[in-house]
Structure 1
């Protein structure tokens, strides 16, 4: 039996160009699968206690007892509770302004407050974000933080694994 017959088929069965085309399609499929699948996610570290500090700037003066330690914190529209508020700190909002001479001065506001809320919950800090309770968050992310009697647009300013 000849390798190529008179119609240029391998062993009289298959055209070599068809074999090359099929191998090319298989190679593209393997490369595509590898690129789309990527590396497996890092295994989450053991769940422990995570502490996250949120900052809400420029909140109009509110009754400071609307947010207190022991309140349950959640993300508005989120999947569930994140944890428990362990500390709340109110500070006067600080803004930059120009005075009559055109110089930039720092001015404290008597009308607005910056609110720091520390939340502790079960979760893990990984290389791809923070799992806090039922939520997945990242530092510098902004969303509505909701407590039983108060809701505010807050930015995540720090997250750390406590134990």
Structure 2
């Protein structure tokens, strides 16, 4: 018995195109069953603590940020809260009498250094809290119900959970 006869049927039973369609459908079903029946892995949440520097704010704006403020993304609260706030005179650069650039403190504007904390299971090579990527050097929008400031993340600390995985 030949594999393919003169009518294009495999072993004289099934057309080649029909066999291909049946094989593709069976592979799709097998993939779906595998995905659905695959045991779920549990990734314990990791506490993410990060520090954001917001430069050169008017003093009235700098006073708005308080410990305990919850951050907002879009129209929803996200699991990020303010843990510590430091207000300091803003850095600026001035030109001295010799024409050199020197660092100086601005007498009016303030820099905010805000420590924020959130908890999330980290399953990829990216930390995202409230739709913002958390990585030192990236911009971060410090946004609550009553304010929104743009700063830069200057430090990220990961504190792994002590929870044991669920059975």
Q: For this structure pair, what is the TM-score category when the shorter chain's length is used for normalisation?
A: 0.5 to 0.7
Alignment correspondent of 2:100: 103
**1:29-69 per-position Cα deviation (integer Å, ceiling 9, x unaligned):** xxxxxxxxxxxxxx995213211211111112225541111
TM-score by length of 1: 0.62
Residue correspondences, number: 129
**1:77-114 per-position Cα deviation (integer Å, ceiling 9, x unaligned):** 37641411110111111122211211222210012111
The answer (yes or no) to whether the contact 1:125–1:161 under 8 Å persists in 2 is no
Distance 1:154 1:73 in 2: 14
SS across alignment from 1:83:
strand
- Change in Cα spacing, 1:69 to 1:118, as seen in structure 2 (3 Å) is same
1:138 corresponds, among 134, 147, 154, to 134
The answer (yes or no) to whether the contact 1:84–1:120 under 8 Å persists in 2 is yes
- Change in Cα spacing, 1:65 to 1:93, as seen in structure 2 (3 Å) is closer
SS across alignment from 1:66:
coil
The answer (yes or no) to whether the contact 2:88–2:111 under 8 Å persists in 1 is yes
Alignment correspondent of 1:55: 53
TM-score by length of 2: 0.61
> Pairwise CA RMSD of aligned residues?
3.2
SS across alignment from 1:73:
strand
- Change in Cα spacing, 1:101 to 1:158, as seen in structure 2 (3 Å) is same
- Change in Cα spacing, 1:99 to 1:65, as seen in structure 2 (3 Å) is closer
Distance 2:45 2:70 in 1: 19
In structure 1, runs of 5+ residues without a counterpart are: 1-10, 14-42
* Per-residue deviation, 1:127: 6.1
Alignment correspondent of 2:69: 71
